[in-house]
Amino acid sequence: MKFDVELVGKIGSMALIDKQDNMIDYTRVARLSRELKPGYIWISSGATEIGRLDYMMRAGKELPDGEDAKTDYAAQGQAILMQTYRQFVDSKYSVRQILVEHHHFNDEVKREHIRKLLLRCASQNAIPIINYNDAVSESENRRMEIAALSHSLTKVHECIDNDETASLVACLVKAETLLIFTSVDGIYTDPHDPSTLIEEISGKDAYEVVENIESYKKYCEGASRKGANGAKAKLEYVKEAAAQGTRVLIANGKYSIREVLSGKVHCTKIGIR
């Protein structure tokens, strides 16, 4: 298979936060940012949580819990998130923010528009950084739109989980590698026992690798934070990417991109052997 993009990478919210100091982990973001280059597409969660922490720092309190608070936090956090990436990405590269919603991937014309935008970035020395557009997406309206789409489409993409967005982008641009950074080393048969890390899920062809992914989903439970879908969802989302020949790596965000790609650290590797 011919690949059009070298890497699609994603980092989760909790992997970006310094839990001890309740702030963005600038050391980690700086290290990752310095590794980004044209030919890489980066999906970054974190805007809502970063916005919440920034609001608390400035106001001394949280907003009342609810949909409006998530919207307000996301709008505040997006500016900080992109400012941080721009600060640490090599200055010779352009950085482009791309905010997506579910309808961009459920409409053929919009999907193709995004594909061309992403593919142009490499030739223009630019790094695209993608996130779901939480600031303008209201959950009840989104549910209604998803329900309506389900009547006319065989498969509907919701995209509020950036693991799903990353996998869809990897399929869209035919990525050689899909790297999903999380707060643990990968997928476990027992999430409470680090020694049960699943280091490889593979198959001789697309059918077998999907079948083996399905068999490992039964071990998965829990998530890193409220509202996250957890390991089982990760495995479900990456099936299509793995089936098309993309190498999928699920790894701990404490490692560098280079360490994971070189196989120097423990992680979960998924793909056709």
Report DSSP state, residue 43: E
Residue with tokens 């120097």, as numbered in its chain: 264
| Number of domains into which the chain is organized | 1
Domain with residue 258: its CATH number is 3.40.1160.10
Given a cut of 70, the residues of the chain with pLDDT beneath it are 140-143, 145-146, 221-229
Q: What is the pLDDT of residue 242?
A: 97
Candidates 30, 31, 42; CA nearest to 5 is 42
Given phi > 0 = left and psi -120 to 50 = alpha, else beta, which region is 263?
left
* Joined tokens for residue 103: 């309808």
Q: What is the pLDDT of residue 145?
A: 63
SS3 string of 229-256? Answer: CHHHHHHHHHHHHHHCCCEEEEEECCCC
CA 254 to each of CA 14, 27, 34, 246: distance values in angstroms, whole numbers, following the listed order: 11, 10, 14, 23
Q: What is the pLDDT of residue 142?
A: 62
* Helix segments in the chain, DSSP class H: 13-16, 26-35, 47-59, 67-88, 102-105, 108-123, 139-149, 162-172, 206-216, 230-243, 257-261
The residue range of the domain holding 188 is 5-272
Q: What is the pLDDT of residue 224?
A: 44
Residue with tokens 């590797």, as numbered in its chain: 269
Q: What is the pLDDT of residue 223?
A: 47
Q: What is the pLDDT of residue 191?
A: 86
Cα gap 77→255, rounded to integer Å: 24
Q: What is the pLDDT of residue 1?
A: 73
